[in-house]
Copies of this chain bind each other. A is one copy, B any other.
């Protein structure tokens, strides 16, 4: 397939353009018997939908999901679950002007050379709008992981531009427009974003995602390592330029005596590994960071070229997020959920019969 399907056993085949009739996906491989309603999925979609604050795009999209198959009398049947989201607020006229030019920092130039044709309306297939599909599919994965293992997947914004956001509590993440785990810093973030917008500029962000309650043993040892698949999933999110698991780049300057997590009968003494050793989950929290680049669509004039190769100056108008990272948290959670359910299914295919007497120690002591 041409890169529009995600997952081996719990697979998501995505479709749709930003300004086409609809976006959606086929989710294949969901175990039967899971209670599932459109409301379960809608709840996650509402967390990422646009227009929820002045700090995100003002495009109005209800992102209402319809389940077309795979659910009978309120439960999944083991057959494909098709999800459909009709596009509503399509101001295609905003985009007519970019049909002949390539927006800097966007996929316009690469799509044009790859395919020789592109749906230029709002970026078409390359639009971050497609991430709604991931959130919808991820909602199914999240629910199954929660019910099957008690796995909880949560994320937050850990840095906005230059501003690092100290973690206060998970409770506060849902209480502000930034998914910040810290309400006190919110006024500073708002002022910062207002300033960015006033400068007709944009800024990047860092998102942290954590999975708690993951059993030991998920992941494959060599190529499809759990951390490799996580890196693939996160780097595959629009605008992401970096991924870390556990200590990440900080491990470059660490000593082995510091980095490697000791084991004790009471649990791991630390979690520099971020919950993965040798590509397989340890039972510790899985901790992932991702770097989101600043939105490429800004109202400042920039140099570019047109389809004839001539130089042009262009400013990207239309309704854009001044920081795409703000809405990235639910997407990152969804992708982590999709990775984990796939590996959970793969694990039991091969290792369902495995029994060991060795006790499974808890995650990092006190954290």
Q: What CA separation (Å) do A255 and B296 show in the bound complex?
A: 9
At the interface, yes or no: A98 with Cβ under 8 Å from chain B? no
A5 touches B13 (CB 8 A): yes
Task: Quote the shortest CB–CB distance from A221 to chain B (angstroms).
Answer: 5
Binds B, one of A46-54, A57-65, A175-183, A279-287: A279-287
Cβ–Cβ < 8 Å partners of A263 in chain B: 102, 104, 109, 303-305
Do the beta carbons of A294 and B255 come within 8 Å of each other? yes
Residue of A102, A113, A219 with highest tally of chain B CB at under 10 A: A113
| CB-contact partner of A350 in B29, B102, B298, under 8 A | B29
CA distance A304 to B261 in the complex (A): 9
Q: When A349-B346, A356-B116 are in contact, do A70 and B15 touch as well, CB less than 8 Å?
A: yes
List the number of copies, as a whole number: 4
Q: In the docked arrangement, what's the CA distance between A162 and B253, Å?
A: 5
- For A, the interface residue count at a CB cutoff of 8 angstroms equals 163
Q: A125-B79, A350-B2 are in contact. Are A277 and B20 (CB under 8 A)?
A: no
Assess A252 versus B350: contact at CB under 8 Å? Given A82-B15, A220-B2, A231-B231. no
Within A339-361, the residues touching B (CB, 8 Å) are 345-361
**CB of A8 closer than 8 Å to a CB of B:** yes
The answer, yes or no, to whether A307 is at the interface (CB within 8 Å) is yes
- Interface hits, A247-281 → B, CB 8 Å: 247-265, 269, 272-274, 277-281
A14-B80, A110-B217, A232-B228 given as contacts; is B3 within 8 A of A223 (CB)?
Answer: yes
| Chain B nearest CB, measured from A128 CB (Å) | 11
Near B by CB (< 8 A), chain A positions 109-166 give: 109-119, 124-126, 130, 148, 159, 161-162
Residue of B nearest to A103 (CB): B260
Q: Which B residues touch A264, using CB under 8 A? A: 303, 305, 311
Q: Is A78 an interface residue (CB 8 A)?
A: yes
User: What are the residues of chain B within 8 A of A205 when measuring CB–CB?
Assistant: 252
Evaluate whether A28 and B9 lie within 8 angstroms (CB atoms) in the complex, with A227-B235, A255-B201, A265-B309 already known.
no
User: Which listed residue (B110, B115, B235) contacts A32, Cβ 8 A?
Assistant: B115
Show 21 residue pairs from A and B whose CB-CB distance is below 8 angstroms, ordered by the A residue.
A3-B346, A15-B70, A16-B68, A16-B69, A21-B66, A21-B68, A32-B350, A72-B117, A78-B117, A79-B221, A104-B263, A107-B221, A113-B216, A161-B253, A196-B255, A228-B231, A263-B303, A263-B304, A264-B303, A265-B311, A345-B349
Q: 4 other contacts beyond A2-B350, A16-B82, A29-B349, with CB at 8 A cut-off? A: A79-B125, A114-B351, A203-B253, A227-B241
